């Protein structure tokens, strides 16, 4: 049930982002006097529409995007008599650029608002006191190449944790009266006290329970240098790290927001550069969990996030992070200088402007000569087909070989 809710929440967030993207185009176009005749969410047959002034607003059957119809987006379109001066292609290059950039700009705004809102409203994810996932019957005195840590292993020692009454699910609050910060703090404390009894305070079913456990000396790889072996204490438990959210002050929240945005930018840069080669591995068992993922995969991950055992705050921050990262990625991707993306149209506008200036410097005094878009149509169709093929490729992998969140 929670998984389905997560998927629905992702779809709603995605469609909301699309609406805001199109609103960026719509309001800047209206601001400059251009005529926008349609503002729709979705594609295909119209489910509902209403007209306000000169614009028709509505919803279409296929929730896979949205669009704003601005009169005269290209010189190839027919323009009704009387609307010539309000046609998009008739406007100065600066205004056309603003209208085209506005969609991507809104994605950046969405990402920044989500990150800032989450940081100030929820906080940051921090590790809390650890839970003990399970106890073992025995502890191996030395871990050899076979990895055998059962009671049948040579030199196996009865597990101190089970003998002390520790139970799976116990949350360790303190050791010898000192509060335990996180999982690593617990592990290092136990390892440092071989042969020394430890007084544990654990939380079990909402009640504090006092226990005493005696770590036994065993040989294990060093935490600081895995190539070295050292004698440490062990009690025979597996530690489950617990994540919670923690509110920060104004300055720290602002810094955390900047750090989060920096991580998003770095992740997108890595995806568009270092991760391109992983596209061929989407259907393999070695699929990169930090590689490409489509709307289907992102929706599935969002569902898994909300269905996880994490706290509500951690779930909310993770989900918001997914939506913020997706918006930032779409904003960057949409500015690539390829038709039919907005970045492709911007490239055409700038090329026209640069070419016109050069010609006028050489004495040309006629009207601005437009780029012949019919000559670019084959390239545009090729880009569209490539995008469709890539989308289908990733969507197929998200269905048959989905990325799963680490447990």
- Rounded to whole angstroms, the Cα distance separating 119 from 250 reads 9
pLDDT in tens, 377-407: 999 999 999 999 999 999 999 999 888 766 5
Question: CA 183, 255, 332 angle in degrees (round to 5)?
Answer: 105
Report percent pLDDT > 70 for the chain.
96
Indicate which residue of 22, 77, 274, 367 is catalytic.
22
- Rounded to whole angstroms, the Cα distance separating 162 from 172 reads 15
- Rounded to whole angstroms, the Cα distance separating 36 from 21 reads 15
- Rounded to whole angstroms, the Cα distance separating 395 from 294 reads 6
Active site annotation includes 22: yes
> What was the pLDDT predicted at 66?
87
pLDDT classification of 366: cutoffs 50, 70, 90: confident
Give the residue-averaged pLDDT of 126-137: 86
Q: Name residues whose C-beta falls within 8 Å of residue 299's C-beta, 6 or more positions apart in sequence.
A: 6, 7, 10, 11
Q: Give the least confident one: 43-47, 136-140, 271-275.
A: 271-275
Give the residue-averaged pLDDT of 256-279: 87
pLDDT in tens, 213-259: 999 999 989 988 888 999 999 998 988 888 888 888 889 999 999 99
> What was the pLDDT predicted at 1?
61
Per-domain boundaries in the chain:
126-245
Q: Give the least confident one: 77-81, 201-205, 363-367.
A: 363-367
For the CA atoms of the chain, what is the radius of gyration?
A: 29
Let me know: does 256 contact 119? Beta carbons within 8 Å: yes
Question: What separation in angstroms does the CA of 158 have from each of 137, 151, 163, 195?
Answer: 6, 8, 8, 14
pLDDT for residue 148 is more than 80: no
Kindly tell me the burial class for residue 367, based on how many C-beta atoms sit within 10 Å of its own C-beta (0-12, 13-18, 19 or more): exposed
Average pLDDT, the chain: 89
pLDDT classification of 145: cutoffs 50, 70, 90: low
> What was the pLDDT predicted at 277?
80
**E strands, 155-281, in order:** 157-158, 171-175, 178-179, 198-204, 207-213, 216-221, 229-234, 237-246
Give the residue-averaged pLDDT of 196-210: 93
The dotted CATH code for 126-245 is: 2.30.42.10
Give the residue-averaged pLDDT of 321-350: 93
SS3 state of residue 48: strand
């Amino acid at each position: 049930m929670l998984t389905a809710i997560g998927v629905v929440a992702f779809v709603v967030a995605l469609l909301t982002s699309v609406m805001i993207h199109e609103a960026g185009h719509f309001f800047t176009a209206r601001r400059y006097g251009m005529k926008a005749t349609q503002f729709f969410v979705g594609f295909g047959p119209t489910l509902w529409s209403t007209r306000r002034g000169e614009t028709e607003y509505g919803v279409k059957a296929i929730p896979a995007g949205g669009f704003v119809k601005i009169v005269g987006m290209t010189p190839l379109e027919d323009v009704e008599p009387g609307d010539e001066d309000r046609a998009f292609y008739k406007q100065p290059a600066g205004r056309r650029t603003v209208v085209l950039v506005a969609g991507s700009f809104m994605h950046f705004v969405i990402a920044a608002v989500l990150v800032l809102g989450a940081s100030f409203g929820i906080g940051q994810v921090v590790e809390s006191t650890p839970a003990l996932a399970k106890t073992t019957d025995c502890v191996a005195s030395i871990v050899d190449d076979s990895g055998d840590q059962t009671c049948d292993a040579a030199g196996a020692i009865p597990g101190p944790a089970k003998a002390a009454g520790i139970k799976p699910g116990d949350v360790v609050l303190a050791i010898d009266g000192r509060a335990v910060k996180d999982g690593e703090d617990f592990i290092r404390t136990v390892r440092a006290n071989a042969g020394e009894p430890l007084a544990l305070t654990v939380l079990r079913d909402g009640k504090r329970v006092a226990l005493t456990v005696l770590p036994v000396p065993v040989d294990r790889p060093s935490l600081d240098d895995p190539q070295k072996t050292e004698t440490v204490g062990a009690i025979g438990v597996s530690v489950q790290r617990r994540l919670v959210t923690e509110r920060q002050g104004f300055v720290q929240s602002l810094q955390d927001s900047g750090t989060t945005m920096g991580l998003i930018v770095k992740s997108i840069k890595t995806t568009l550069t270092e991760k391109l080669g992983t596209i061929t591995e989407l259907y393999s068992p070695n699929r990169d969990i930090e590689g490409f993922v489509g709307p289907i995969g992102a929706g599935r991950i969002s569902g898994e996030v909300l269905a996880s055992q994490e706290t509500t705050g951690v779930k909310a921050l993770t989900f918001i992070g997914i939506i913020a990262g997706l918006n930032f990625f779409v904003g960057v991707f949409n500015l690539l200088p390829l038709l039919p993306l907005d970045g492709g149209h911007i490239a055409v506008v700038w090329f026209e402007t640069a070419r016109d200036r050069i010609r006028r410097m050489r004495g040309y005094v006629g009207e601005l000569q437009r780029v012949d878009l019919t000559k670019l149509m084959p390239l545009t169709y090729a880009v569209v087909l490539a995008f469709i093929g890539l989308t289908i490729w990733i969507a197929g992998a998200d269905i048959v070989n989905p990325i799963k969140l680490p447990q």
